[in-house]
Amino acid sequence: MAPKKLNEYERRRLENIRRNDEMMASLKLQSMATQLSAASIKRQRSAPKPKRISPKKKPKNDNLVVVRRSLRTRGILPDSKGLDNDLVESPAKSPNSQTLPSKPSIPKMGPLSMSQAFLDEGSDRALIETILSIGKKSELGVDLGAEIEAFKVCKEENLGVLRNSIKKEENEVGSSFSLYSMTLNPENVARVVQDRIMTLRFFPCRNSRIVAAGSKGGNVGFWNLDHQMEEEDGVYRYHTHSGPISGISIHRHCLSKVFTCCYDGYIRSMDAEKEIFDLIYSSDNAIYSFSQRSDDMKCLYFGEGRGDLNSWDERTGNCATQWTLHEDRINSIDFSSENPNIMATSSSDSTACIWDLRSIDADKPKPLKMVSHKRAVYSAYFSPSGKFLATTSFDDTVRVLSGDNFEETSWIPHNNQTGRWISPFKAIWGWDDSHIFIGNMKRGVDVISPAQRKTIFTLQSPHISAIPCRFDTHPYNVGMLAGATGGGQVYMWTGN
């Protein structure tokens, strides 16, 4: 077969390839690359491995580095006088420097004297004598005899009188009291404790205005608005517990004793006659709430641990009964004034329940009524007549149960997102079944009308510097409302 003839382009291409090969051969690049590659491999095999040099160890420094810590992490309360200069190496301190008073040690068991627990300078003799005075009157029936029967708000016939005196703007202005006449005067503001107030309670006495507050730091503060000495502010503080105080109970028939419970598992009884804080109960579990029946001043009912309810009897000094009523902690306990055997509890398991103490099964307790919320329920309180029940939940609702068997439920929207640094809101009833008081996030107090199912009024004042989150109404002084804040202040509204 004859070879294929190449065109001009192919011949020129082959000529260029031949010429380039001759040029590369004349430069001897291929042989030089082979020699360099062989030398590099030989050098790598013959070169010794470098010795591993360990880093030099730093000498130990005997001087410890002082880490700065805030007052909160050190457990020291803030003070305008400043901190101790305890980080300065010089042993000499300024003679004008002042330190915060240290808290007295709390014995694990046994009584704690009031003088040992007293935090303020001066004497608490005036408070003790005042409590003893009103306590004797309550025992003799001088102050709480016939006057209580005439003033009782738990009787249906007396509710009509209060309903006529507390009305809405167009027909809520009564001859003796008006909701819109409630005012906050600057002299009715005091810092009762130094940290967040967890619970607040009036002394249930007609002729006295004393309020007790329990704080997150384990302190109990008393504020006597009727104090006579001008050089004092009427505030007395005691350190009685090692954790947050979750409840205060003062029975109207035994005003000389003040019961307090705490997350540390202790229940103490302040006895003004013996001048001690006696330890009456201790547990390894936290105690989140407690209450007393109006017809029995010898028994305490308290929520312990995750859903347990205990009944402690002062006569025996032991717990008489115990039930497991909820799946999570019990946040509030309340008894109906119409029937003290009917009890309401609220829990972090998102439920509020109504119970009959006479028919609770120890193995499988069944409530008379259960109300379910979407989130934790922080309070469930009966109205003064016992015919209504108001619950407060973190799902931004206040529910009101009514009817013969509490079968009717009304939902009232309310912002209950208090956050981390403010205690959860707990709605309380006023002096009758017409109004509910609850704090708001705008430094005010919302007044809710169950009949209208909405907020109808807000108590505001330029003297309020923080959000009030805990409340109590004076049981015998209509128009007197106490509100407490996360900074330890107590505001006292009064009505004309």
pLDDT digits (tens, 9 = 90+) for 429-460: 999 999 999 999 999 999 999 999 999 999 99
Same domain, 334 and 479: yes
pLDDT tens digits, 285-326: 999 999 999 999 999 999 999 999 999 998 888 888 899 999
pLDDT tens digits, 139-176: 555 444 444 444 444 444 444 434 444 333 333 333 35
Residue 402 CA to residue 314 CA, distance in Å, equals: 34
Share of the chain above pLDDT 90, in %: 60
Q: Is position 458 within any domain?
A: yes
Structure tokens at 472: 């109590």
Q: Is position 175 within any domain?
A: no
Q: How many domains does the chain have?
A: 2
Residue 307 CA to residue 304 CA, distance in Å, equals: 7
Domain boundary among 263, 282, 301: 282
Chain position carrying tokens 């934790």: 376
Residue 120 CA to residue 140 CA, distance in Å, equals: 32
Per-residue CA distances from 39 to 28, 44, 46 (Å): 17, 9, 11
E-assigned strand segments in 274-376: 276-282, 287-293, 296-304, 308-313, 318-324, 330-335, 342-347, 351-356, 369-372
The CATH number of the domain holding residue 392 is 2.130.10.10
Same domain, 344 and 227: no
Task: Please give the angle made by the CA atoms of 349, 404 and 148, to the nearest 5 degrees.
Answer: 90
Is 356 within 8 Å of 328 (Cβ atoms)? no
Residues 23, 25, 29, 35, Cα dihedral to 10° = -170
Q: Is position 291 within any domain?
A: no
Residue type, 88: V
pLDDT of residue 85: 39
Same domain, 421 and 487: yes
pLDDT of residue 170: 34
Q: Is position 264 within any domain?
A: yes
Instruction: Count the Cβ atoms, other than its own, within 10 Å of residue 192.
Output: 26
Q: Is position 12 within any domain?
A: no
Same domain, 278 and 333: no
Same domain, 278 and 380: no
Residue 293 CA to residue 265 CA, distance in Å, equals: 21
Considering only CA atoms, which of 288, 278, 275 is closest in space to residue 236?
A: 275
Domain boundary among 247, 282, 317: 282
Same domain, 272 and 334: no
Residue type, 171: N
pLDDT of residue 495: 85
Same domain, 268 and 357: no
207-244 burial, b if ≥16 CB within 10 A, otherwise e?
Answer: ebbbbbbbbbbbbbbbbbbebeeeeeebbbbbbbbbbb
Tell whether the model's pLDDT for residue 138 goes beyond 80: no
Chain position carrying tokens 């590369």: 24
Q: Is position 402 within any domain?
A: yes
Is 162 within 8 Å of 478 (Cβ atoms)? yes
Q: Per-residue pLDDT averaged across 220-236, rounded?
A: 84
Most confident residue range from 18-32, 305-319, 372-386:
372-386
pLDDT band of residue 11 (cuts 50, 70, 90) is confident
Structure tokens at 461: 């004042």
64 burial (CB, 10 Å; 0-12 / 13-18 / 19+) is exposed
Same domain, 334 and 247: no
pLDDT of residue 229: 65
Q: Is position 58 within any domain?
A: no
Same domain, 265 and 336: no
pLDDT of residue 46: 57
Q: Is position 66 within any domain?
A: no
Same domain, 237 and 342: no
Same domain, 358 and 451: yes
**In whole numbers, what is the pLDDT of the chain averaged over residues?**
82
Instruction: Count the Cβ atoms, other than its own, within 10 Å of residue 206.
Output: 17
Same domain, 361 and 461: yes
Range of the domain at 272: 108-140+198-282
